[in-house]
Amino acid sequence: MASNLDHFFSALADPTRRAVIARLTSGPASVSELHAPHDMALPSFLKHLGKLESAGMVRSLKIGRVRMVHIEAVPMAEAEDWLKTQRRIWEGRLDRLSALAEHLERNGDHG
């Protein structure tokens, strides 16, 4: 799973790719529709789509002459699970730190 997460977060490191994912959350779109808001040549944009596809975050299929791109839920769910685990760990650590600070404050142990 670590390798999948590496690809996932690497793919999201670029604002163009994040914008594509954000757009695809509302449904599939053609490559030309996804490319339209970005001020870059189509070959450069296709490299961004390739990075998302190799990370397993999107898939595309050709319907007639149009290539449609769809978001893939599994990598999103894996990343969400990882982030939830990290959040639980850090909340636990912060709760223990807060309890220690309160204990020290109550007992006058200031260092």
Give the pLDDT confidence score for residue 99 in this predicted structure.
81
Query: What's the helix, strand, coil split of the chain in %, to 5?
Result: 65, 15, 20
Confidence category of residue 94, pLDDT binned at 50, 70, 90: confident
The predicted pLDDT at position 3 comes to 65
Q: Which residue has the higher pLDDT, 61 or 109?
A: 61
**Residue partners of 68: CB distance under 8 A and separation at least 6:** 28, 29, 30, 31, 60, 61, 62
Sheet bearing 29-30, strands edge to edge: 29-30, 66-71, 58-63
What torsion do the CA atoms of 80, 86, 90, 93 make, to the nearest 10 degrees? 140
Residue-level pLDDT at 49: 97
Q: According to the model, what pLDDT value does residue 111 have? A: 53
Q: Looking at residues 4-21, what average pLDDT do you find?
A: 90
Q: Distance of alpha carbon 77 from its chain centroid, rounded?
A: 10
**What CATH class does 2-107 carry?**
mainly alpha
CB 65 within 8 A of CB 33: no
